[in-house]
């Protein structure tokens, strides 16, 4: 006997008693898991499937969802105008037998795996991770279904969505036991790197590299990740080999590998090799912000403050939101006593990215050095408006007033 759409939507008595009234075993519930959206699927899961899965008197060897045809409340009232008792009686009466669609599961209790997985993905995309995981766990605990790897991977994704990274990693590893997909490998390595488990990540990254028919851009991404992981592990020889291999497999020189190779040289104190490598990257792309940053860092290591200042400034001109680099530029400007460019960029950063008391103080100090006393006073006033006890700002205000007054007397 089949549960049709109207019955599935109009259940009033507890789900288990209705199924028993229809002489259906819980582990033989016929299903058609097609839902228009995540909201209807979630509602049905909350109202019915939870009761089935929590039912202790039956062993659920298979469980799939019942298709729901949405109806407005008034339409339901017209369909069932009788009393609650009469409604329950009519629900328990034999249903008209129709030929089930080809997607519907048979009475043998087999799970309709593709549709269950599809519904789980709908829930995952809607952020309903717990509900999706209940479907996937039921599949996982069933007899072999042929989609074990995909199910485990989706469970991992549900945990990752909740930032439960250790559980996600375990689920992805389990998926790989069943010959998981390349996507699962990539997700696993990303999480391992986030958890600072570089040695383990490197093992799986090299497994990606040995995958048949891997696309070139994925191979290059894996080589970059391998090199960086090896570098963090202080295996600098292996890191260099990964980066050089990346340059060998590209038809054109890939600036990412050149910059990473240069950074590796700089880390080892091979300053001239780093400088030559970054200049090669600069010739390939003069507007790459990371290349300018790398050149600035290398010139700084070589003691060339002017070149370091200029490349830091150029990088910030291309991409302003680099707070770590902004501080390097400010330090260089102070040591060089060269303030105009740093002052302009610092002002743009405060206007476009963020304004903090410390940044405003640096701006005010630069403005004072340039003799821009009115601008300096305005920057200090902004600090004291929110931090009235900022002692450095108070001292700088007094110094600014004193210098400004001395200039007026001189004039």
Identify the burial level of 144 via C-beta atoms within 10 angstroms of its C-beta, where 0-12 means exposed, 13-18 middle and 19 or more buried: exposed
Q: Do 302 and 394 lie in a common domain?
A: no
Give tens-digit pLDDT for 337-360. Answer: 999 999 999 999 999 999 999 999
What was the pLDDT predicted at 37? Answer: 58
Residue 218 placed within a domain? no
- Tokens representing 280? 């090669």
* Higher-confidence position of 136 and 90: 136
CA atoms of 312 and 323, how far apart (whole Å): 11
**CA 389/CA 260 separation, integer angstroms:** 45
Rg of the chain over Cα atoms, rounded to whole angstroms, equals 33
Residues 310 and 392 in one domain: no
Let me know if residue 180 belongs to a domain: no
Among candidate residues 349, 373, 400, the one where a domain is terminated: 349
Residue 130 is assigned to a structural domain of this protein: no
Please write the tens of the pLDDT for every residue from 25-60.
Answer: 333 333 434 445 566 656 666 665 554 444 433 333
369: number of Cβ within 10 Å: 17
Structure tokens, 383: 């600090």
Do 263 and 344 fall into the same domain? Answer: yes
Handedness of CA 92, 95, 100, 101 (dihedral sign): negative
Strand, coil or helix: 268: coil
Which whole number is the average pLDDT over 154-163?
A: 96
Q: Please check whether residues 11 and 91 belong to one and the same domain.
A: yes
Query: Does 239 score more than 50 pLDDT?
Result: yes
Write down the number of H helices and E strands in the chain: 23, 0
For the chain, percent of residues with pLDDT exceeding 90? 63
How many whole angstroms separate alpha carbon 309 and alpha carbon 297?
A: 9
Which of 310, 327, 349 is the last residue in one of the domains? Answer: 349
The answer on 91 and 3 residing in a single domain is yes
Residue 85 above 60 pLDDT? no
Is 10 in contact with 47 (CB distance < 8 Å)? no
- The model's confidence at residue 9, banded by pLDDT at 50, 70 and 90, is very low
Q: Are residues 359 and 318 in the same domain?
A: no
Nearest Cα neighbor of 165 from 141, 123, 193, 136 is: 193
C-beta separation of 222 from 203 below 8 A: no
Q: How many domains does the chain have?
A: 3
- Evaluate whether 91 touches 24 at the Cβ level (below 8 Å): no
Is residue 77 located within the same domain as residue 13?
yes
Poorest-pLDDT segment among 38-52, 78-92, 102-116, 379-393: 78-92
pLDDT at 180: 79
* pLDDT, tens digit, 9 for 90 and up, residues 375-411: 999 999 999 999 999 999 999 999 999 999 988 776 5
Calculate the alpha carbon distances from 311 to 118, 337, 352, 361 in Å: 51, 17, 21, 24
Is residue 311, in this structure, part of any structural domain at all?
yes
Are 106 and 31 contacting, i.e. CB atoms less than 8 angstroms apart?
no
| Whether residue 2 is found in the same domain as residue 91 | yes
How far from 189 is each of 69, 158, 194, 389, CA to CA, in Å?
42, 17, 9, 48
Nearest by Cα to 91 from 100, 82, 99: 82
The pLDDT mean for the chain works out to 79
pLDDT tops 90 at residue 87: no
Asked if residue 305 is part of any domain, the answer here is yes
Q: Are residues 316 and 365 in the same domain?
A: no
Q: Which is higher by pLDDT, 36 or 282?
A: 282
| Helix ranges (DSSP H) in 210-303 | 216-232, 236-249, 255-267, 271-284, 289-301
Domain end marker among 63, 97, 131: 97
Does a structural domain hold residue 337? Answer: yes
Tell me whether residue 16 is in a domain.
yes
Both tokens of 170, joined, read 């375990």
| Contact between residue 52 and residue 62 where contact means Cβ atoms under 8 Å apart | no
Whole-angstrom distance, CA of residue 38 vs CA of residue 167: 24
- DSSP one-letter string for 371-386: T-HHHHHHHHHHHHHH
DSSP 302: T
**What is the DSSP secondary-structure string of 185-234?**
HHHHHHHHHHTT-HHHHHHHHHHHHTSTT--HHHHHHHHHHHHHHHHHTT
Task: Identify which of 84, 88, 123 has the alpha carbon closest to the alpha carbon of residue 7.
Answer: 88
Same domain, 10 and 29: yes
Question: Is 229 inside a domain boundary?
Answer: no
180-228 per-position pLDDT tens digit: 789 999 999 999 999 999 999 999 999 999 988 899 999 999 999 999 9
Give which of 321, 295, 322 is closest to 309, Cα–Cα: 295
* 293 and 383 inside one domain: no
Domain of 345? 255-349
């Amino acid at each position: 006997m089949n549960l049709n759409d109207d019955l599935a939507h109009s259940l009033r008595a507890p789900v288990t008693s209705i199924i028993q009234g229809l002489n259906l075993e819980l582990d033989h519930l016929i299903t058609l898991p097609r839902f228009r959206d995540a909201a209807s699927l979630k509602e049905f899961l909350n109202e019915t499937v939870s009761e089935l899965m929590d039912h202790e008197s039956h062993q659920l060897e298979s469980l799939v969802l019942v298709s729901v045809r949405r109806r407005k409340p008034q339409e339901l009232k017209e369909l069932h105008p009788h009393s609650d008792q009469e409604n329950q009686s009519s629900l328990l009466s034999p249903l008209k037998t129709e030929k089930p669609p080809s997607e519907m599961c048979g009475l043998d209790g087999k799970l309709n795996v593709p549709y269950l997985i599809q519904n789980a993905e709908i829930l995952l995309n809607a952020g309903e991770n717990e509900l999706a995981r209940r479907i996937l766990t039921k599949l996982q605990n069933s007899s072999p279904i042929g989609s074990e790897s995909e199910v485990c991977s989706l469970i991992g994704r549900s945990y990752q969505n909740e930032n439960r990274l250790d559980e996600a990693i375990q689920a992805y590893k389990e998926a790989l036991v069943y010959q998981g997909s390349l996507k699962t490998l990539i997700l696993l390595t990303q999480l391992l790197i986030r958890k600072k488990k570089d040695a383990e990540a490197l093992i799986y990254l090299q497994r990606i590299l040995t995958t048949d028919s891997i696309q070139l851009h994925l191979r290059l991404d894996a080589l970059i990740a391998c090199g960086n992981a090896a570098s963090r592990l202080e295996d600098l020889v292996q890191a260099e080999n990964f980066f050089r291999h990346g340059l060998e497999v590209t038809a054109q020189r890939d600036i990412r590998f050149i910059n990473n190779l240069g950074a590796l040289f700089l880390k080892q104190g091979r300053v001239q090799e780093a400088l030559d490598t970054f200049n090669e990257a600069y010739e390939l792309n003069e507007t790459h912000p990371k290349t300018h940053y790398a050149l600035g860092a290398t010139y700084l290591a070589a003691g060339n403050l002017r070149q370091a200042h200029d490349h830091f400034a150029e990088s910030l001109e291309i991409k302003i939101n680099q707070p770590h680099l902004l501080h390097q530029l400010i330090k260089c400007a102070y040591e060089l006593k060269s303030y105009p460019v740093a002052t302009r960029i610092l002002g743009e950063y405060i206007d476009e990215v963020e304004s903090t008391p410390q940044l405003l103080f640096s701006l005010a100090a630069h403005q004072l050095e340039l003799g821009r006393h009115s601008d300096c006073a305005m920057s200090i006033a902004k600090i004291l408006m929110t931090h009235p006890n900022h002692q450095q700002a108070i001292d700088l205000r007094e110094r600014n007033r004193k210098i400004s007054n001395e200039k007026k007397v001189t004039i």
